[in-house]
Structure 1
Amino acid sequence: MVQTLMLHPAWEKTIASNDLNQIQQLVQQEPEQRFIPYRQAFNYRGDLLVTVIVQNRSEHPEEWKEQPLAYVEKEQTIAEKNVSIHTLPPFTSMPWTFIFEKDLLNGQPELKGFLETF
């Protein structure tokens, strides 16, 4: 089944064409990954921003309500929190930025990690 790229309305208004092209390429290159890493950064408050492409590879809609999520680097959990996202239709990929507030961080991230659910 072909994976469809879906953008949140806020992304549709602000995404640069270069970013959109990169995201489309990543979806094609990493078809099996649950979270395809895209960007990691700190905002002006020191919060960790982790942008990934979330993929629903199943034939059923997927909704996250208070799903436990961890940011991990070098086999160490740097931050964790419960997150909610919009419903992902079947066979859909969507870029999403997860924010881990500064007070949730266990150590100083090197911005070379990944997300995992638990």
Structure 2
Amino acid sequence: MNLVFDPKWDKALPDTDRRKIEQTFQKFVLPNTAGKQITFTPLWQARNHRSDLLVTVLINNYSSQAYSFGNTTLKYVEDNAVKAEKTFTLERVYVPLDSSMPWTFIFPESSFINSSINLHGSLICHNLNDLDPPD
């Protein structure tokens, strides 16, 4: 499993955040996980000045092909309760096979199902078929 960065992230990422991402990748992302395709390893969560929820994760691609997100519905879950849900189309996100890449998914306040968010959750995608191989 390789750790890759979007070129814009690679240029702008502060060293402290890069170290946290690298440490999380080394500690929690397992190589050769059989039966998995795409998983998310939580990095951090925050709220911005507009009250949007920012969920930063490592996108782990265990599949045999590269993926991008096209019309993919993700849910933000805390304590087994869905707190936010949004459909993402991210043409710029390209996760090579056998790679992990950090990304921040932004859930606007209008996507909240429950506004009591404590910033200790995770992302789930029930239908991995929504993930599109890039052209």
Match of 1:70?
Answer: 75
Q: Which amino acid aligns with 2:59?
A: V
Aligned pair 1:115/2:120, yes or no? no
Report runs of 4+ in structure 1 exceeding 6 Å deviation. none
Report the TM-score when normalising by structure 1. 0.90
For 2:89 and 2:69, the matched residues in 1 are separated by 5
Q: Which amino acid aligns with 1:17?
A: D
SS at match of 1:11: helix
Q: Which runs of 5+ in 2 are unaligned?
A: 31-37, 127-135
The count of residues paired between Structure 1 and Structure 2 equals: 116
Report the TM-score when normalising by structure 2. 0.80
For 2:82 and 2:62, the matched residues in 1 are separated by 26
Alignment match of 1:87 (pick from 89, 94, 97): 94
Match of 2:103?
Answer: 96
For 2:15 and 2:81, the matched residues in 1 are separated by 35
Alignment match of 1:22 (pick from 17, 20, 23): 20
Match of 1:53?
Answer: 58
Q: What CA RMSD, in Å, does the superposition of the two structures yield over aligned residues?
A: 1.4
**Aligned-residue offset at 1:95:** 0.5
